[in-house]
Amino acid sequence: MVSKGRRLLAAMILAGLGPVAPHLAADNCDIDRGARLFAKCAMCHPRDETGVSGAGPNLAGIIGRTIADADGFPYSVAMSGMDGIWTPERLDAFLAAPMAYIPGTTMGFGGLRNPADRENLLCYLASEQ
């Protein structure tokens, strides 16, 4: 699992991100578990090089991307109003409680309460597609 943790770190470095929350930099994240957890996201979100969105925006390369930048996707007013990029910390906070982190988001997802789940999912999101 060491390489997977390094891959996440590498992705964050490539994205030009600063210090990351300690648990996100952990070397022991389980990318296979993350891939299975992504099934929940994949109900709405494509994640591929086409960049085409579905019921949710395409998540290809989401870590380091500008928030609400998927071409043509009708984001909520709340999401459109967010500045900056998706850092691992922000994604972690968002995925823990989406409607608390961005009140007014229209994403119909209650959140992943388990920190280990979020860590594994972020690990998967940082991996190559």
Partner 1 sequence: MSGNRDLPPHPDDQGRPLDHNRRRLLQAVGAIVSAAAAPSLHASIPAGNTADGGGYDAIVIGGGFAGITAARDLSLRGFRVLILEARPRLGGRTFTTRFANHDLDLGGTWIGNSQPFVWSERMRYGVDVVESAAVAASQAIWMDDGERITGSLAQYAEIYEPAANHFYAPAREFIPRAYQPLFKEEFGNLDQISAADAIANLGLPAVQRDLLYSFAAINGHSFASESSYLDQLRWFALGNYHLWNLWDNLSRYRLAGGTKALIDRMAADSNAEVRLGTPVAHVKQSAAGATVTTLRGEELQARAVVVAVPLNCLADIEFSPAISEVKLSESRRRHTGSGTKVYAKTAGKQPVFMGHGTQQMPLCFAWTEYDDPDSQLLCGFGASPELLDVNDDRAVASAFARYQPSVTVEESVSYDWNIDPYSKGTWCMYRPGTLTGSLTELQRPEGHVFFAGADIANGWRGFIDGAIESGATVAQQVTQHIAI
Phi and psi (nearest 5°) for 43?
-55, -35
Dist. CA 78–CA 107, nearest whole Å: 11
The residue type at 43: M
Shortest distance (Å) from residue 90 CB to partner 1: 19
13 lies in the binding site for partner 1 (CB under 8 A): no
Task: Draw the binding track, 24-63, toward partner 1 (x: CB under 8 A; -: no contact).
Answer: ------------xx-xx-xxx--------xxxx-------
Residue 15 or 127: the one with the smaller Cβ distance to partner 1 is: 127
Shortest distance (Å) from residue 68 CB to partner 1: 12
Residues 6+ apart with CB under 8 A from 35: 124
Dist. CA 127–CA 57, nearest whole Å: 18
77 lies in the binding site for partner 1 (CB under 8 A): yes
Give the C-alpha distances (Å, rounded to integers) separating 120 from 52, 53, 72, 74, 104.
25, 23, 29, 28, 26
103 lies in the binding site for partner 1 (CB under 8 A): no
Window contacting partner 1 (CB under 8 A); options: 1-9, 17-25, 86-94, 108-116: 108-116
- Which residues form the interface with partner 1 (CB under 8 A)? 36-37, 39-40, 42-44, 53-56, 73-74, 77, 99, 106, 108-114, 117
